[in-house]
């Protein structure tokens, strides 16, 4: 398994744990990989009592990307407490773009990651 595949798995793990902290009862994840990119699609429900935890999700995931930081810290994804903003910021460093659609009790996300050329 390459580092790129491990990074994708870490992103999926972190987003799954995030939605578990929101009391999700349904989490669906799909990965579409091409030669130059990975698209991670996540759909999940959440308990409305935790809606405030979604308020800054776009800011965390679409924050400034820092390839140097990603290369150093990507293995730490999933090591902190689930749902911590630091873990979401780390995921944000590992992806290039996040599209997030939050409904009353449901979230759809598309996380795009450009792959490095070998």
**Residues sharing a CB contact under 8 Å with residue 22, sequence separation 6 or more, in sequence order:** 44, 46, 47, 50, 53, 54, 83
* 3-class DSSP state of 35: coil
Show me where the domains of the chain are located: 3-114
Q: List per-residue pLDDT tens for the chain, 118 residues long.
A: 587 888 899 899 999 999 999 999 999 999 999 999 999 999 999 999 999 989 889 999 998 766 665 555 455 554 455 555 667 888 888 899 999 999 999 999 999 999 876 5
Q: Does domain 3-114 have CATH number 1.10.150?
A: no
């Amino acid at each position: 398994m390459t580092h790129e595949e491990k990074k994708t798995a870490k992103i999926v793990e972190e987003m799954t744990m995030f939605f578990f902290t929101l009391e999700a009862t349904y989490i669906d994840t799909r990965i579409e990989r091409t030669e130059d990119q990975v698209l991670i699609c996540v759909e999940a429900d959440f308990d409305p009592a935790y809606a405030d935890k979604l308020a800054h999700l776009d800011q965390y995931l679409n924050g400034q990307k820092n390839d140097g930081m990603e290369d150093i810290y990507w293995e730490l994804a999933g090591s902190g407490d689930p749902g911590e903003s630091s873990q979401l910021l780390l995921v944000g460093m590992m992806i290039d773009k996040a599209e997030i659609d939050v409904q009353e009790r449901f979230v759809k996300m598309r996380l795009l990651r450009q792959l490095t050329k070998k």
